[in-house]
């Protein structure tokens, strides 16, 4: 990577970092691109050289957030050797990252609650599929051996991470949920929801 490319990456990250700070302080709907520009100490020309506008910058920050989250999840899930270990690692890894990166987690949930344009939604969906591929491939072995239900990836995601997403949203919104309880109980509950059922009398 040449000096010009490195400078461009640094300026881009500085703008994304500033956007995250502004969104955390004012919320997505209360933040304009001019406020982000000033927080980053960037010139108008440099902002619009890197991003088409606020929606494009917001999408870039959302993609960066998913890249960081899914990289962490891959590091937790792929080394596992059983279905139970994989499920627990997935749910606990998600909770661990969100609770350790609360501003990014809060932004992620706020941004995903907003309606993205068709093009942006397609870009985000494609990038998420790329990032999740190692986990999907790893979990497929447990599905094939019968230790996880033969459900589509989307359904597994809803069942395994749905309660954790809801708990994180509420916690980040100020609900009196105990993070220690979330990490001690939700991964176990996720596994109980998909583990193979022992026939009666077995």
- As given in the structure block, the two tokens for residue 109 are 């949930």
Angle subtended by helix axes 153-172 and 102-113, to nearest 10? 120
Least confident of 47-56, 66-75, 128-137, 171-180: 47-56
Stated pTM of the model: 0.90
Distances in Å between the alpha carbon of 163 and those of 6, 75, 129, 158, 168? 40, 22, 21, 8, 9
Gap between the Cα atoms of 90 and 70, Å rounded: 10
CB-side exposure of 199: number of CA atoms within 13 Å? 2
Residue 202's pLDDT band (boundaries 50, 70, 90)? very low
Contacts of 169 (CB under 8 A, 6+ apart): 109
pLDDT tens, position by position, 151-180: 999 999 999 999 999 999 999 999 999 999
Gap between the Cα atoms of 159 and 193, Å rounded: 8
Gap between the Cα atoms of 19 and 16, Å rounded: 5
């Amino acid at each position: 990577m040449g000096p010009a490319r490195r400078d461009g990456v640094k300026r881009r990250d500085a703008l994304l970092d500033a956007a995250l700070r502004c969104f955390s302080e004012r919320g997505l709907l209360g933040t304009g691109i001019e406020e982000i520009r000033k927080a980053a100490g960037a010139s108008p020309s440099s902002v619009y050289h890197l991003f088409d506008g606020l929606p494009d910058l917001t999408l870039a920050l959302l993609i960066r957030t998913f890249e960081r989250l899914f990289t962490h999840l891959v590091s937790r899930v792929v080394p596992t050797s059983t279905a139970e270990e994989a499920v627990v690692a997935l749910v606990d890894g998600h909770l661990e990252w969100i609770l350790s990166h609360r501003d990014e987690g809060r932004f992620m949930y706020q941004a995903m609650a907003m309606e993205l344009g068709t093009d942006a939604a397609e870009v985000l969906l494609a990038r998420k599929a790329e990032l999740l591929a190692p986990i999907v491939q790893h979990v497929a072995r447990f599905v094939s051996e019968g230790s996880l239900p033969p459900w589509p990836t989307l359904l597994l995601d809803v069942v395994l991470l749905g309660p954790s997403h809801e708990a994180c949203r509420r916690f980040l919104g100020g609900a009196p949920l105990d993070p220690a309880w979330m990490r001690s109980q939700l991964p176990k509950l996720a596994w109980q929801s998909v583990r193979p059922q022992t026939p009666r009398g077995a």
